[in-house]
Amino acid sequence: MCGIVGCVLKDDDAAPVLLDSISKLEYRGYDSIGIATATGNTINLKKGAGKIAEVDAELDLADLPGNCGIAHVRWATHGDPSEINSHPHLDENNAIAVVHNGIIENYLAIKEELEKEGHEFKSDTDTEVIPHLLEKFVDEGCDLELALRKTIDIIHGAYAIAAISIKEPNKVVATRKDSPLIVGVGEKEYFVASDFPAILKYTNNIIYLEEGEIVTLTGDGITIKDSEDNILDKEVDVIDWSPEMAQKEGYDHFMIKEIHEQDIAIKNTLAEREIVKKIVDEIKDDINRVAFVACGTSYHASLTGKYLIETLAGIPTEVLLASEFKYSQKSLNDKTLVIFITQSGETADTLKALDVANETSKTLAIVNVAGSSATRKAQYVIQTQAGPEIGVAATKTYVSQLASIYLFAALLADNKELLEKLDKVPDYINEVLENEDKIKDISRKYRFARDFFYIGRGYSYPIALEGALKLKEITYIHGEGYAAGELKHGPIALIDDGIPVVAILPPGDDHKKTMSNLEEVQARGADVLGIGSYGDEDLITKAQDTFLINSEVDDIIAPLVYIVPLQILSYYVAVARDLDPDKPKNLAKCVTVE
């Protein structure tokens, strides 16, 4: 949901570094791009609507003078994606430039006031009030830092803001509230950025900025002040992600690279067993109910968690959509453990729910991004070890979330058999990846389909939901996941000649029942792709196409393995339709607005 970068370099021009850094955040928004630098009497600005490569080919974005500047990639909230609405935005005198991620809720009232005072606005954005407010306070005699402090006293909403001014040309000031912003401390370069990948090439030294703190970058270093204007001596964390982790390394897209990293992501996540055990030991005698809260793919991981915790540990468990949480949280109490699943740790809906749950219950966040807001708000944290995920569609972070949930549930239930099974999952995934071409071939057949259905029972039902979501997200083909037994209660009316139905059929007690559902849709003309196990002759004989998986993967651990061919299917259908799976239209990696 928009990415921002700001930097001051000791020796070099900032624009090439800003272009390189903001390109690493394109997964956060790809409607438009802009860069501004400050020199002497000028704000040097280039911006335009479109993906970075397109706008760069036209404008040569790196060709701007000055060793300090700001950059932005946009995911439009207010105003269509156009040059005029793209960031950076300027004040009236073209003396101050601002980039912003988030939403200013009271911008209309502020705009009205400023217009009465004679300010003229050019764009439809909420952001444009910020440079005008800064201008007003600078005109009253404030320096840029104080002007920013006064501005954040007025604006309401979620924001990460970075600003530059021609009056203080070697300086970037920045702040945040409910939107991520990290500070990078290099040897000859200082940064603010929405996320790590932007700065990994230059530094691994990070400072996490808390809400209301203001950071000032200059050629001499970094100063951070709290809301009372006290200078803070903040800890510098060293993050162990490498720049290569955020590069394609020979793959055509991040998505397929990240699908291939799922074995190692699970292995690394399962290696956190001691940390998970400590949390389980601390809370297990003190809870009688569990509630998962999440959005999107993380919600699907949570559904698997419900089956696991209820079946293995016998603890009543519910799953709530974070955006619906406030309408149904009333029965939480201090015996409830509320588990928040979020790869980014910055999803606004999830964070709002986390704040509420903290008031009554124990809270645990399962998060991929270290230092993100969820890790700082939750009482307990499990960090998944997927490494940076750049593709907008969650793949390796999803299986890592599942790995953490399985570990948690197995330890809670003291289920040694499940713990042993989990250790073999990376090998099973590798076997699936070795047969990638089989799915690639099948994907050609389906690339012009208009609708897809995915069916599964029990542990395979969330797989069906997640398979359908991946398809929708990156191929723009309509896909629905259904509990296999539910299909005949209505949706079967939609089944027609040639409609693809993906049936998820791991070995287990319910295999026969799902086979009957498969036959029901076939009888109405469906074209069935069965995802099952080697030796499943019934499936092999009946389905039009099959993809087979190691028969040791039973229905309980199926969610960790059976999702992989479905991710690959969506990927290759998207490629066959000439779409960019890394940057699906209308989506952003991290949704920081409610």
Active site residues: 2, 589
Q: Does 296 bind ligand M6R (CB under 6 A)?
A: yes
Q: Which is nearer to ligand M6R, 32 or 342 (CB)?
A: 342
In this structure, the dihedral spanned by the alpha carbons of residues 322, 324, 325 and 328, taken in order and rounded to 10 degrees, is -160
**Tokens found for residue 162:** 């970075």
Tell me the closest approach of the beta carbon of residue 341 to ligand M6R, in angstroms: 7
Hey, which residues between 509 and 528 contact ligand M6R (CB under 6 A)?
A: none
Q: How many CB atoms lie within 10 A of CB 401?
A: 29
Rounded Cα gap, residues 167 and 188, in angstroms: 23
Q: Does 404 bind ligand M6R (CB under 6 A)?
A: no
Exposed, middle or buried, 489 (CB in 10 Å: 0-12/13-18/19+)? Answer: exposed
In this structure, the dihedral spanned by the alpha carbons of residues 293, 296, 301 and 305, taken in order and rounded to 10 degrees, is 30
Q: Which is nearer to ligand M6R, 7 or 367 (CB)?
A: 367
Interface residue with ligand M6R among 298, 373, 375, 533 (CB under 6 A) is 298
Q: Which is nearer to ligand M6R, 130 or 265 (CB)?
A: 265
User: Taking CB positions, which residue lies at the least distance from ligand M6R?
Assistant: 296
Interface residue with ligand M6R among 343, 363, 570, 592 (CB under 6 A) is 343
Rounded Cα gap, residues 13 and 314, in angstroms: 61
Interface residue with ligand M6R among 22, 591, 592, 593 (CB under 6 A) is 591
Q: Which is nearer to ligand M6R, 214 or 321 (CB)?
A: 321
Interface residue with ligand M6R among 347, 363, 384, 517 (CB under 6 A) is 347
H/E element, 246: none
Q: Does 350 bind ligand M6R (CB under 6 A)?
A: yes
Report yes or no: 89 and 127 within 8 Å, Cβ to Cβ.
Answer: yes
Q: Which is nearer to ligand M6R, 6 or 102 (CB)?
A: 102
Window of 78-86, 94-102, 502-510, 583-591 that interacts with ligand M6R by CB under 6 A: 583-591
CA nearest neighbour of 185 among 204, 212, 168, 171: 204
Hey, which residues between 471 and 510 contact ligand M6R (CB under 6 A)?
A: 473
Q: Does 180 bind ligand M6R (CB under 6 A)?
A: no
Q: DSSP strand E in 486-577: where?
A: 500-504, 527-533, 545-549
Q: Which residues lie across from 344 on neighbouring strands?
A: none
Q: Which is nearer to ligand M6R, 295 or 455 (CB)?
A: 295
Name the residue type at position 253: H
Hey, which residues between 299 and 328 contact ligand M6R (CB under 6 A)?
A: none
Rounded Cα gap, residues 92 and 216, in angstroms: 23
Backbone angles phi, psi at 451, to 5 degrees: -135, 150
Hey, which residues between 355 and 394 contact ligand M6R (CB under 6 A)?
A: 392-394
Tell me the closest approach of the beta carbon of residue 470 to ligand M6R, in angstroms: 7
Grouping H, G, I as helix, E, B as strand and the rest as coil, residue 125 is coil
Q: Tell me which residues touch ligand M6R (CB under 6 A).
A: 295-298, 342-344, 347, 350, 392-394, 473, 587, 590-591
